[in-house]
């Protein structure tokens, strides 16, 4: 029985990449807080991850663009900007925390593999 590393990682590797991509989208929202007409966007995390799991190739390049959705603001601004800083900051902080969660899971997987390799 051989160890397939990409399978051994489970979906945590995909989740980690998706978190990193989502960080980029949220950083854009925060950066464009004062840009007139800018519309805040976000990744549909669950749907994208499910799609990644089905594709099985773990490639994010062609899927990250398609899953972006526009955020519905609580209050519309006069200049057409839909960024609400509080919402974005909360999402960014949550996403950063989820990123380190995924990272922790990956680390635990690696530790388990190292144990298996060393035969402990």
Pick between residue 11 and residue 96 the one whose CB is nearest to other proteins. Answer: 96
- Annotate the chain with DSSP letters as a single string: ----HHHHTTTHHHHHHHHHHHHHHHHHHHHTTT-TT---EEE-HHHHHHHHHHH-S---TTTTTTTEEEPPPSS--TTS----HHHHHHHHHHHHHHHHHHHHHHHHHHHHHHHHHHT-
8 interacts with other proteins by CB under 8 A: no
Does 34 contact other proteins by CB under 8 A?
yes
| Segment lying near other proteins (by CB under 8 A), choices 46-54, 70-78, 88-96 | 88-96
Near other proteins by CB under 8 A, which window of 45-53, 59-67, 70-78? 59-67
Q: Which residue has the tokens 């840009």?
A: 35
> Considering CB under 8 A, how many residues would be counted as binding other proteins?
35
Contacts to other proteins by CB under 8 A: 17, 20-21, 23-25, 27-28, 30-38, 64-66, 68, 85, 89, 92-93, 96, 99-100, 103, 106-107, 110-111, 113-114
């Amino acid at each position: 029985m051989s160890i397939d590393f990409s399978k051994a990682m489970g979906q945590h590797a995909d989740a980690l990449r998706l978190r990193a991509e989502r960080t980029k989208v949220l950083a854009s929202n925060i950066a464009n807080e004062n840009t007139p007409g800018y519309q805040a966007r976000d990744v549909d995390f669950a749907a994208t991850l499910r799609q990644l799991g089905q594709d099985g190739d773990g490639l994010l390049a062609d899927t990250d663009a398609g899953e972006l959705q526009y955020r519905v603001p609580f209050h519309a601004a006069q200049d057409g900007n839909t960024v609400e800083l509080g919402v974005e900051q909360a999402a960014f902080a949550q996403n950063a925390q989820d990123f380190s969660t995924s990272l922790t899971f990956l680390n635990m997987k690696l530790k388990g593999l190292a144990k298996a390799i060393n035969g402990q």
